[in-house]
């Protein structure tokens, strides 16, 4: 949905001196398109993955005079902008989830389709790995994670199998976890919804990287950083992310006035205007070219007034 993203951000980025933040830099594909499409724009790119930053830096080298690439998680945006001396920005982009770099590098452990060390950290320099979560969390906490972050109906059955297996030998590889999940599920559950390990891997990844908690902090912070007239585009890849985005955007686009006021004062007026009707999805043509676009949900909003 690159073209749609550029079109939605364009009215804000064509203003003189515009700055756009790519909060999920990855390998720099979106950033390269933004810098190419808007020759005067300044770009700030954030990523928690040092490997991604290095690759993006090489890709964006022709635009080095207009880019600032920062090793940071996107909820650190206010601190990054303060360090760079940027009070407000005109555009913000979030392309959530796992990058192609992380999925395609087998030793990162994100993909359930290939055997790899159970890591799943987007920044491998800090935090617990997926293996450590599986091997050390209490059964009740594992059930909670699988239900909350993976929407896994068979969470208790899977966790019971994991606990039995980890007592024999700690988990270290993804293939063993996939096999344990397959054996734990009833036949009916294996016949629906693709790979039976998909939801468990999603849940572990979200827990390891604190993704929803980070997003919950990052969205309001990014909206606060937007100048009036500035625009934000968010690409979400599962219902939990999309629900959060929907709630934050809907809250910003609603009046906060007490009911019954004959005239709504300025400080209660909505500060956001929604630019998409619900969530937009990738076209069949784009999905045919890139199957990873199939789950994407795009939402966009514009800042229309200062904070009250």
Please state the length of the chain: 308
Q: How close are the terminal C-alpha atoms of the chain, in Å?
A: 34
If we measure between CA atoms, which residue out of 71, 76, 78, 90 comes closest to residue 25?
A: 71
Angstrom distances, CA of residue 86 to CA of 43, 69, 77, 184, 253: 11, 14, 11, 52, 25
Q: What angle do CA 123, 128, 134 make, to 5 degrees?
A: 130
> 47 among the known binding-site residues?
yes
> 242 among the known binding-site residues?
no
Three-state secondary structure call for residue 11: helix
> 85 among the known binding-site residues?
no
> 238 among the known binding-site residues?
no
Q: Which class for 35: exposed (0-12), middle (13-18), buried (19 or more C-beta within 10 A)?
A: buried
Other C-beta atoms closer than 10 Å to the C-beta of 15 total 15
Beta strand spans in the chain (E): 19-22, 42-47, 67-71, 89-95, 226-236, 272-274, 297-303
Three-state secondary structure call for residue 117: strand
Q: What is the C-alpha separation between 49 and 273, in angstroms, rounded?
A: 32
> 104 among the known binding-site residues?
no
> 278 among the known binding-site residues?
no
Q: What is the C-alpha separation between 25 and 23, in angstroms, rounded?
A: 6
> 75 among the known binding-site residues?
no
Query: Residues within the annotated binding site for S-adenosyl-L-methionine?
Result: 28-30, 47, 74, 95, 102
Query: Residues within the annotated binding site?
Result: 28-30, 47, 74, 95, 102
């Amino acid at each position: 949905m690159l073209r749609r993203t550029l079109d939605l951000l364009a009215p804000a980025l064509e203003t003189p001196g515009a700055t756009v933040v790519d909060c999920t830099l990855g390998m720099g594909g979106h950033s390269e398109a933004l810098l190419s499409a808007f020759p005067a724009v300044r770009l700030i790119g954030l990523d928690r993955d040092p490997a991604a930053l290095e690759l993006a830096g090489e890709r964006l080298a022709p635009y080095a005079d207009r880019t600032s690439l920062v090793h940071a998680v996107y909820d650190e945006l206010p601190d990054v902008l303060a360090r760079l001396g940027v009070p407000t920005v005109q555009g913000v982009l979030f392309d959530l989830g796992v990058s192609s770099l992380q999925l395609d590098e087998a030793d990162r452990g994100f993909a359930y389709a290939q055997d790899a060390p159970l890591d799943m950290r987007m920044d491998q320099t800090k935090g617990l790995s997926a293996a450590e979560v599986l091997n050390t969390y209490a059964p009740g906490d594992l059930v909670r994670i699988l239900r909350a972050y993976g929407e896994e109906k068979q969470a208790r059955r899977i966790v019971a199998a994991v606990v039995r297996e980890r007592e024999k030998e700690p988990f270290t590889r993804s293939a063993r976890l996939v096999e344990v999940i397959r054996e734990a599920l009833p036949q009916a559950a294996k016949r629906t919804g693709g790979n039976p390990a998909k939801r468990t891997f999603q849940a572990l990844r979200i827990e390891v990287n604190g993704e929803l908690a980070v997003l919950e902090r990052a969205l309001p912070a990014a909206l606060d950083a937007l100048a009036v007239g500035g625009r934000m585009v968010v690409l979400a890849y599962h219902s939990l992310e999309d629900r959060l985005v929907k709630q934050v955007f809907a809250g910003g686009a609603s009046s906060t006035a007490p009911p019954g006021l004959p005239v709504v004062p300025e400080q209660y007026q909505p500060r956001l205007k929604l630019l998409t009707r619900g969530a937009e999805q990738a076209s069949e043509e784009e999905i045919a070219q890139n199957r990873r676009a199939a789950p994407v949900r795009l939402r966009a909003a514009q800042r229309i007034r200062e904070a009250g």
